[in-house]
A and B are shown apart, each in its own frame.
Chain A
């Protein structure tokens, strides 16, 4: 069951790579949040009540309600609809993302032989690393800054999955601080998206390339 959810999580990244509508991307974040909750829920019997409460709040409330709601508001306000004109056509994006995902599985399977990897499930590890890499790669090819924010969130989701894979608990204080920081970071990025929209009237990344050393003025 757990593995099924993780594989679904990996597949959401392929969907992200292959589509261009921003609203669909944000809906995907909701799906990812719910999947992360289900993955956590499979391990709930081994954990403290405090940790269960925290994970539920983090995945169900913050990751699948608050952040997507905030992004919906930003998209509505800035009238951003699609991220067209990415550097690479969607089909090739899909192919590359699939290759990264498969490579994630292969690499993690390769490492399961070593002794220290015993406590990490290879499927967790492979999907989370692939998610992080696909997100970073998508950040480099997308043209709208709001897509960059969305991919930043999927990267954070990948890191969250990775931290679940270690099956060791960090102090609750650390977990809460991390969540708070990530949340504020997304909030600030969202505010900046609005400001950039106000200042430049669109959300193209290419607007933000004025500060450099080798220009001719």
Chain B
């Protein structure tokens, strides 16, 4: 099954390069999305896990990441079908766009499935390179700035992560391996000093891709300038795959009993991420940037949860699921808002509910999901984290956590309420009505499905998902 999801896009890309038909290109993305989700379901049911290509494997830890990737990609592919119809670019450009989406998803799948740190590094860098074109897709001055910063900052970050891998090699002494299973097995023999040093480099290197502050600078620019389906993929899946690599390296330190150091580092970056979001979300002028900052905040929460350990790990996985689905839905809906109003400025968007009821409600519910309003699954995850902090007697951290989250909530909530419930200005009514005709059903259904999943998971987690989550926590 793994072979199918890794080899199909390569074949499809070759076919796309040969055939060069717009309809075929768009169809291929959908076929891949379907194939991805079917293969992942079979893998989750424990079918076809053997006979993999070397260096790739499905284990307890990466299964949940793979499921999230498949689900989000499937939903984004549905949305994308409607989205590409609204674009009036030449067929060739749409062909390139579909081609790069395939490569991008392939690179993310490769990162998640790789069982070797070196291979994971290669695929993380490949995600940067393949998504650069997607961010530059609109070819404006702003998008080139965003794409340049994205490629340059992430490449430097990833290069530093490679320094971390070399230090890990030094820490190993006479052993020479980058295979995760071997690393876990031999972790106790590693030299603690070099291991800690390598973790710092890898945390900041892969943390650059994950969007942890203070190395998050590319994130708001790239997310706001990319087309909305790409923003959804970036936020809901790319950040997760970088997080998986950090989790795997963290596990090595945990086994080698250097985890106190690693936990401190994760806690610091996590709280800095929350702080940065709280500061910037206050002054925000562009609603897509606001969502990007919210991603930084949620990555910070994941880092904090990982650092806390214990019961918080279950919360981390729940948060991962909830954030990916809710944020993907939020970004896709922001695509609808952009389509209606033709601007990303918060000031110019007023009366969303009046302009389009469906988009308005999706906007509100995406906000409720992301701000952890019960029964959003994020409520459960954040609740468990706060409970863990209180049980472990980190009262100060807990207070800081709650205060920062409240500030972020206020910042986002203010914008969402203003944009939704104000009056639609009269000079815009006509253009909005015109633009509304472009929105088709497949630009609403994916968000609705994802939001239903988020709100249902808050009250009922099916037993099979529960067992997958419990298995995954063992990998932290």
Which listed residue, A132, A173, A188, touches B151 by the CB 8 Å rule? Answer: A188
Smallest beta-carbon distance A129→chain B, Å: 9
In angstroms, Cα B141 to Cα A207, docked, is: 9
Q: Of the 9-residue stretches B116-124, B312-320, B327-335, which lies at the interface with chain A?
A: B116-124
Partner pick for A189 among B55, B136, B152, B220, CB 8 A cutoff: B152
**Contact A169 B176, beta carbon cutoff 8 Å:** yes
A-contact bits for B176-215, CB 8 A (1 contact / 0 none):
1010000000000001011000000000000000000000
Partner of A168 from the list B146, B147, B176 (CB cut-off 8 Å) is: B176
| Residue ID in chain A nearest B118 by CB atoms | A174
Identity of the chain B residue whose Cβ is nearest the Cβ of A176 in the assembled complex: B122
CA–CA, A177 and B178, complex, Å: 14
Q: B126 and A192: CB pair below 8 A?
A: no
Contact assessment for B159 and A155 in the assembled complex, using a CB-CB cutoff below 8 Å: yes
B283, A188: Cβ atoms closer than 8 Å: no
Query: Could you name 7 residue pairs across A and B whose Cβ atoms are closer than 8 Å?
Result: A116-B173, A159-B163, A171-B116, A173-B118, A178-B162, A208-B148, A211-B224
Residues of A within 8 A of B136 (CB): 192, 195
Q: Please, which residues of chain A bring their CB within 8 A of the CB of B169?
A: 166, 168, 170
CB distance from B2 to the nearest CB of A (A): 17
Partner of B128, one of A163, A177, A185: A185
Q: A residues within 8 A CB of B220?
A: 211, 213
B221 partner residues in chain A, CB cutoff 8 A: 211
- Shortest CB-to-CB span from B402 to chain A, Å, is 24
Establish whether residues A173 and B144, one from each chain, have CB atoms under 8 Å apart when the complex forms.
Answer: no
Q: Which residues from chain A sit less than 8 Å from chain B, CB to CB? A: 114, 116-117, 119-120, 132, 136, 139, 145, 148, 152, 155-156, 159, 162-163, 166, 168-171, 173-174, 177-178, 180-182, 184-185, 188-189, 192, 195-196, 199-200, 207-211, 213-214, 217
Q: Is B171 an interface residue (CB 8 A)?
A: yes
- Give Cα distance in the complex from A208 to B151, angstroms: 13
Task: Give Cα A181–Cα B151 distance, bound, in whole angstroms.
Answer: 12
In the complex, chain B residues whose CB is within 8 Å of the CB of A189: 148, 151-152, 155
How long is the Cα–Cα vector from A139 to B224 in the complex, in angstroms? 25
Q: Residues of B with Cβ closer than 8 Å to A?
A: 55, 116, 118-119, 121-122, 125-126, 128-129, 132, 136, 141-142, 144-149, 151-152, 155-156, 159, 162-163, 166, 169-171, 173, 176, 178, 191, 193-194, 220-221, 224-225, 280, 283-285, 289
Note all chain A residues with C-beta closer than 8 A to B194.
116
Cross-interface CB contact of A173 among B119, B149, B289, cutoff 8 Å: B119
Closest residue of chain B to A174, judged by CB?
Answer: B118
Cβ 8 A contact of A148, one of B125, B144, B152: B152
**Closest residue of A by beta carbon distance from B141:** A199
Other-chain residue from B141, B146, B162 in contact with A200 (beta carbon distance below 8 A): B141
Chain A interface SS verdict (over half): helix
Closest to A156 in B: B159
User: Assuming the A-B contacts A132-B163, A163-B166, A185-B155, are A210 and B141 also in contact, with contact meaning beta carbons closer than 8 angstroms in the complex?
Assistant: yes
A-B interface, 8 closest residue pairs, ranked by CB to CB distance from nearest: A174-B118, A177-B122, A181-B125, A116-B191, A208-B145, A211-B221, A168-B176, A185-B155
Contact indicator B144/A192 (Cβ below 8 Å):
yes
Please name all residues of chain A whose beta carbon is closer than 8 Å to the beta carbon of B145 when the two chains form the complex: 207-211
> Which residue of chain A has the shortest Cβ distance to B145 in the bound complex?
A208
Do A181 and B126 touch across chains, with their CB atoms under 8 A apart?
yes
Given contacts A185-B155, A188-B132, A200-B141, whether A177 and B119 have CB atoms under 8 Å apart is: yes
- Contact between A217 and B178, CB atoms less than 8 A apart: no
Residues in B neighbouring A114, C-beta threshold 8 A: 193
A145's partner among B122, B142, B148 (CB-CB below 8 A) is B148
List A contacts of B285 (CB < 8 A). Answer: 213, 217
The residues of B that contact A148 with a CB separation of less than 8 Å are: 152
Measured between C-beta atoms, what is the minimum distance from A131 to chain B in Å? 11
The reply to whether A155 and B156 contact each other, CB–CB distance below 8 Å, is yes
Q: Which residue of B lies closest to A162 (CB)?
A: B166
A48 to chain B, nearest CB (A): 14
Q: Is the CB of A174 within 8 A of B116?
A: yes
Instruction: Establish whether residues B176 and A199, one from each chain, have CB atoms under 8 Å apart when the complex forms.
Output: no
> Taking CB as reference atom, which chain B residue is nearest A179?
B122
Contact: B156 with A213, CB < 8 Å?
Answer: no
CA A119 – CA B173 in complex, angstroms? Answer: 8
In the complex, the answer to whether A120 meets B129 with C-beta atoms within 8 Å is no
State the CA gap A135–B267 with chains docked (Å): 30
Closest to A170 in B: B118
Given contacts A188-B129, A200-B141, contact A211 B178 (CB under 8 A): no
Given A116-B173, A145-B148, 5 further pairs, Cβ under 8 A: A152-B155, A162-B163, A163-B166, A166-B166, A211-B225
Q: How far is the CA of A188 from the CA of B131 in the complex (A)?
A: 11
Q: Are A174 and B148 in contact (CB-based, < 8 A)?
A: no
A213 touches B166 (CB 8 A): no
- Complex CA distance for A155 and B152, rounded to whole angstroms: 13
Specify the chain B residue showing the minimal Cβ separation from A181.
B125
Interface hub of A116, A166, A185 (most chain B Cβ within 10 A): A185
* Bound: A159/B128 CA distance, A: 19
| Cα–Cα, bound, A145→B144 (Å) | 13
Rounded to whole angstroms, the CA-CA distance of A182 and B126 in the bound complex is 10
Write out the residue numbers on chain A whose beta carbons fall within 8 Å of the beta carbon of B170: 116-117, 119-120, 166
Contact for B156 among A136, A171, A173, CB less than 8 A: A136
With a cutoff of 8 Å between Cβ atoms, the chain A residues found around residue B156 in the complex are 136, 139, 152, 155
Q: Chain B's nearest CB lies how many Å from the CB of A178? A: 6
Are B171 and A181 in touch, CB under 8 angstroms? Answer: no
